[in-house]
C-alpha cells in the first residue's frame, strides 16, 4: 500500500507542476485574471495534498486501516476539489456549463478535511 500511496503522490505532484505551468502560460490569453487565480488555487491544493500523500506513504504513525482511509479520502478529495476548480476556471472555453458541477468543489474540500482529521487522530492515538 505504501508504494501505491507514494506513486499516487508523485503522479499528483507531477501533474500539479504541469497544470501550474499550463495555467500560468497557456491560459493567460484565454481566460481572465480571476479564472487564472482560481485555476492556481486548484493547483496549489493539489500540490499540498500530493506532498501529504508522500508523507503518508512514509509514516509509521497510522494503522494500515487508517492509512488506507486517509489515502482514499485525499485522492477523491483532490479529484473532486482541484479538478472541479480546473473545469470551473476554464468554463468559458467549453460549451458545457461546468457550473452545474460546482457542488463537487465543497464536497471534495470536505473529503480533504476528513483525510487530515483521520490522519491527525491516527497519529494522536498511535502516540499513546
* pTM (global) more than 0.85: yes
- Quote the distance between the C-alpha of residue 106 and its chain's center: 12
Q: How distant is the alpha carbon of residue 30 from its chain centre?
A: 24
Indicate the DSSP class of residue 128: -
Domain-wise residue ranges, the chain = 2-127
Q: Please, what is the average pLDDT of the chain? A: 90
DSSP 103: T
Query: What fold does the segment set 2-127 form as a domain?
Result: 1.20.120
Read off the pLDDT of residues 54-112 as tens digits, 9 standing for 90 and up.
999 999 889 899 999 999 999 999 999 999 999 888 887 777 777 788 789 999 999 99
Burial zone of 81 (CB within 10 Å; 0-12 exposed, 13-18 middle, 19+ buried): buried
Instruction: Say how many residues make up the chain.
Output: 128
Q: How far apart are CA 44 and CA 52, in angstroms?
A: 12
d(CA 88, CA 128): 44
- How far apart CA 54 and CA 72 sit, in angstroms, is 14
Amino acid at each position: 500500500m505504501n508504494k501505491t500511496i507514494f506513486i499516487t503522490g508523485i503522479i499528483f505532484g507531477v501533474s500539479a507542476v504541469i497544470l501550474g505551468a499550463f495555467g500560468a502560460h497557456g491560459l493567460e490569453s484565454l481566460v481572465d485574471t480571476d479564472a487564472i487565480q482560481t485555476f492556481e488555487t486548484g493547483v496549489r491544493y493539489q500540490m499540498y495534498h500530493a506532498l501529504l500523500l508522500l508523507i503518508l506513504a512514509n509514516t509509521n504513525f497510522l494503522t494500515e486501516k487508517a492509512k488506507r482511509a486517509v489515502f482514499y479520502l485525499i485522492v477523491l478529495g483532490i479529484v473532486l476539489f482541484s479538478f472541479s476548480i480546473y473545469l470551473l476556471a476554464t468554463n468559458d472555453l467549453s460549451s458545457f456549463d461546468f457550473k452545474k458541477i460546482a457542488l463537487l468543489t465543497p464536497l471534495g474540500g470536505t473529503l480533504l478535511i476528513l483525510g487530515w482529521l483521520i490522519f491527525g487522530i491516527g497519529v494522536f492515538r498511535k502516540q499513546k
